[in-house]
Each structure stands twice: as C-alpha cells, then as structure tokens.
Amino acid sequence: MQYLPIFAQLKNRPVLLVGAGHVALRKAGTLLKAGARLTVVATYFADEFIQWQQQGKATLIESRFSPEHVAGHVLVIAATDDDVVNQSVFEAADARNILVNTVDDQPNCSFIFPAIIDRSPILIAISSAGTAPVLARRLREKLEAILPAHLGPLAQLVGAFRDKVKQKISGFAGRRQFWERVFDSSIVREVQANRLDVAQQQLEELLEREIPTQGEVYLVGSGPGDPELLTLKALQLMQQADVVVYDYLVSEPIMQLVRRDAELICVGKKAGAHSVAQEETNNLLVSLALSGKKVCRLKGGDPFIFGRGAEEIEVLLPHQIPFQVVPGITAAAGCAAYAGIALTHRDYAQAVQFVTGHCRKDGAEPDWHSLSRPNQTLVIYMGLMKVEHIQQQLLSAGRAATIPVAVIENGTRPEQRVFTGQLSQLASLVAEHQVQSPALLIIGEVVALQQKLHWFGDRPDQLAQQPLTNRI
C-alpha cells in the first residue's frame, strides 16, 4: 500500500492553493466544499475566485509564488502550468513537513486526491496511487451508477439513533447484528421513498423488540481460486460473518474479501498434515453458533462436492441452528474451463465422472472398470499422492495408454499451470513438473481439444498469467 487512505477534517483549517487555472478551479471547489480556509496564490484570477473572495470563502494573493507562502498551512496544492513553479512549491512544503499535492505529477506528491463518490455523509474515495487517474474516474462512474441517492439520508437517519442503540444494546457484536437487521428491513425502502417519518417510526419499533441471541452458520463455497468467480451471495455473507472458519484451499485474494474485523479460524486440511480433525471442526461450528455468532464456513470449490458440507450441517440440526448453503464453482468446472477443456463434448465425451483420489478408510477401491469407459471424462480430485496408483489401475482396467490427460495446478489463479500428455505419462508429468496441491487430474478424449480451446494465460505447459478483464 503506497498511500494510507484517510479522510481529513479540513473545516476552518488553512489550505494553500498555488495557481488559478482550470485545474486549480476544480481543486478549489472541492476544498471549499470540505470547509477549508482557502488561500490562493496566483498572478491572475478567474471570476469564480473573485466571487469566493467577496463571499469570504477564500483569500487571494496576487503574486508569484514564494516559499514563505506555505507557512502555517496544513495542506498545499501546486496547480500551475509551470513545472518550475510546481517543483518549487513541492520542495518548500516538503521541507516543512507539510502535505503537498502537485497536480498530475505523482512523484512530487505526499498526498493525492482520489476520485470521490459523494453520498454525504457517505463518502467513497477511489485511487490508483496516481498511476492511472482516468481508470480511477471510470471506476467512480461505474459505482456512481449503482449506488442509490438515498444512501445519504439513510446514513443520517441511523446516525441519529447510534446513541439510543448503544444504550439499549451492550456489546459491539449485538449492535452490529441490530444494524444489519435494520439494513435488511423495510426501513431502507421507506427512506428510498422519502418517507423518513415512517422509517424513523419503524426504527424505533425495531429497537424495542427482543434481540435474538442465536447465531447462524453460512456454508459457503469459494470456488477454485479466482475471486471473480465468487457468487454475489457468497461475498455478501463473507462480509456479514462474525467468524470465518476456512480451509487451506481458499485463496488469499478471496480471504482479502472477508470482513476486516471478522475472527479468522483456519481448520484447513492438507494431504498428510490434517491440522484439525473433522469432528473438532463440527463442534467448533456448533459452539460458535450457540454463542450467538454468525459463522461463515468458507470452503474451496463447492461445499457439497468432496467438501464434507453435509457432514457439517448434520451436526447443526440437533441444536436447531439456522444455516444457509451457498454453492461454489467446483474445481472440475472452474479449472477445466480455465484450462480450455470442455468436460463434455458431443463428439468426444457423453458423460463425466468426479471422483476423489483419497481411498476409503476401509481400503475399498473404486470401480476402475466403470471409470475406464471410453467417451467419458474422468476428473480426479486430490489425486497427486496416488497418481501412480491411479495411472496403473486405469491402464489395468483397459483405458488406452494413449488417452489424453491433463494436470492442472492452481486452476483459475494467476499462477495456473497446465500440463498435458497421455495416460502412460501421467505420473511422470506430476513428478517432472513438481506439481503441488491444489491440483486436478483430467483424463479423457476431450483433453485433446485443449490446445485449440485454450484461452487463459500463456500457452499450455507454461506459467499462466490472468488477462485484464474488459469489464471496466
């Protein structure tokens, strides 16, 4: 993080603006809106500046800039069309440890102006750290279109109730749950319809009701790794949770989207290194929910596809703990798509099977003959440790040695790697390229199309890089 995002209180504080051109005029308008006590130094002034002076909003100094002008100010902005003058302003302010912004000159800035979305008292600032201001402005335009105008009145209404809520409800967690109930209620619709008196009455009534203390569990699938593959509901519940219980397979970019002040508990499992037994995880979910917490059980992929989601829900039922299940894109679908592999194809595969490479506790083997049928795609989860055994069993069951195979490491992520070959080469592909978990094995005729259908990142067998999206 190159800059610390802060919101500065400038009301009645002295701010110096050097320059009075078009750009300076825009900066002056923003500063005056924030209540700054503005001084402007320039050799000429537009009519707007003169009107501000007459209205007592700004002090104008008709002069060339001198380093002494910066004294006594909390912020300084250089907005002239003379690089020499702007450099002099920066050096004078920086030498006095005064925060300074030089317009369109990021190296000569100790602070920068973000793109602003104003729904006062709600303010949203967007910054590219000075590297791409046009991109920041386009993001602002996107957000402006989706953020409703009633956000400001809604924030003012709930702000007037903060003290009442503090007196009524003790503890941060309880108050946060109350406010979430408010924002999920009809109060928001009443504010949107400009019926503020009705909204206020409903807020009063909601505050007088008994506050439930029982928690809830959200079983959320995070998909194979790309945060853009999260569902909207998954993201919403990740932001609402008091506690997030997560696995190793949940990617770091997705973990960055969890609510900042949520408690994080890792119960992840790795092959050969199970950190937390499943029974302990089950008991943890029950304990947290019974204590009144909103718990997000965050899993890689889909919780109901080799994710033990059903087992975890079963332990909630005797305690009558409310729960929700949010499906995620399973690794087979996500990784195959990003690798350019169609799991089914009219000419190559009329069926697909998902299996786990982990053996049952009783040592029973899967039906290898069923898994070896032609014209079907076989996707094997967690198969790295057993890859030699898998290869041998499929060959022994009659699958052709030349059938195409793919090994996908870190599928959908920027570091994705894809290796292709034949079934007889499967174990050697894993060993040669030192493939690490998470990885997926895909076996079947459809893999032959991978070279043609590839789209994500570099060419196959190379480190893949995620292309820029065209959503902006």
Residues belonging to the active site: 247, 269
Q: For residues 403 and 448, what is the distance between their CA atoms, to the nearest angstrom?
A: 9
Number of Cβ within 10 Å of residue 121's Cβ equals 11
**Can you point out the beta strands (E) in 63-167?**
75-78, 99-102, 115-119, 122-126
Residue 376 burial (CB count, 10 A): 20
- Whether omega before 224 lies within 30 degrees of 0, making that bond cis, reads no
Picking from 446, 469, 439, the residue whose alpha carbon sits closest to that of residue 456 is: 469
Strand partners, 298: 220, 246
Question: For residue 128, is it left (φ>0), alpha (ψ between -120 and 50) or beta?
Answer: alpha
- Residue type at position 369: H
* Residue 237: partners with Cβ closer than 8 Å, 6 or more residues away: 218, 220, 296, 324, 326
Cα-Cα end-to-end distance for the chain: 22
Q: Give the whole-angstrom CA distance, residue 131 versus residue 308.
A: 45
Quote the CA–CA distance of 468 and 130 in Å, as a whole number. Answer: 19
Q: H or E stretch including 269?
A: strand 269-270
Rounded to whole angstroms, the Cα distance separating 112 from 41 reads 20
CA nearest 41: which of 28, 30, 51, 31? 28
- Rounded to whole angstroms, how far apart are CA atoms 331 and 358? 16
Q: Could you say which DSSP state residue 56 is in? A: T
CA angle (65 as vertex; 59, 71 as ends), nearest 5: 65
Q: Is 211 left (phi over 0), alpha (psi -120 to 50) or beta?
A: beta
Identify which of 26, 21, 57, 22 has the alpha carbon closest to the alpha carbon of residue 41. 21
| Backbone torsions φ then ψ of 189, nearest 5 degrees | -65, -40
Between CA 353 and CA 351 the distance in angstroms is: 7
